[in-house]
Structure formats: C-alpha cells, structure tokens
Structure 1
Amino acid sequence: YIRNTVNELPQQERSFFEARGVHDLLMIPVTFEGKLFGVISFENTEKKDNFSDDDLNFLVSIADLVKYYVRKYKSHDS
C-alpha cells in the first residue's frame, strides 16, 4: 500500500495531485492471481493530516471484498 503526503512524492506526481487540491494519499493495490487488477485510493482534500490506521484497515477490507467478488465472478465464468 501507499500512505503518504503529497509533499513526499516526486515532483511530477506532486504537481498532478497538488493541482487537484490533494494533501494526502492512501492507495491499496487489488491483485488477482498474482497480477494487478486495480487500485483503490482515498485522496484527502480537506485537511493536511495523514490517514489513520483505521482508514488503512477500512480500505484493505474493501480491497479484500473486491478480490473476493472478482474470484467468485471468474470462477463462475469458467
């Protein structure tokens, strides 16, 4: 996962997020069968505080649900 402030990013990425008013990022990869399926992310535009461990745990739970349903869909489709 990625959890950091926009200020910690390389300049090109920092400029992209700063232009959108983003202060902090929380990104969780969603993988299926060892391959990247997608990314779920939260962007904090309200305050300049890092995301909490509770925020991280919530997003990990959502990513796990997505993986579960992708696996279920793929097995049903086979």
Structure 2
Amino acid sequence: MGRFLDAYKPERHYMRGPGPKWHAKHSASLLTAASAQPAASRGPALKELRAAEFQLLSWMAPMAAAVTLGFMAVMVLA
C-alpha cells in the first residue's frame, strides 16, 4: 500500500520552460539570432496590404449603398 501512495506524479515535477542555467548558457546565441533578423521586412508587404484594402473598399461601399437602397425600395413597394 505504501508504494501506491508514493507513486510518481509528473504534475508535481512539471517545469515550464528552460531554467536559469539554460538561459545563462544560451543568452549570447539568442541575442545574436534575434539581431540577425531583417528589420524592415514588413514594409512593402504592409503597403501592398493597404492597397488591397483600398481596392476592396472602393467597390464595397457603393455596393453596400446600392443594396441598402434596393432593400428599402422593396420594403416600400411591399
């Protein structure tokens, strides 16, 4: 019966993420990897996204107005 009560319970030994020893060992390599990323990689993609949004809105607003007017005309005539 004693062995059953002393069973290993992994939830008591669970640790989230790496500990301080791991961070001390890998901090230099993590900093160099983070600084090696391109800084302005999102610039052109953001401009293209804005242009696509503008094209979408340029036809969506008149279409919504036409649909609303059509709905109102149907409701008045019904």
TM over 0.5: no
Structure number with higher strand proportion: 1
The higher relative CO (CA closer than 8 Å, separation ≥ 6) is in: 1
Larger Rg: 2
Structure number with higher helix proportion: 2
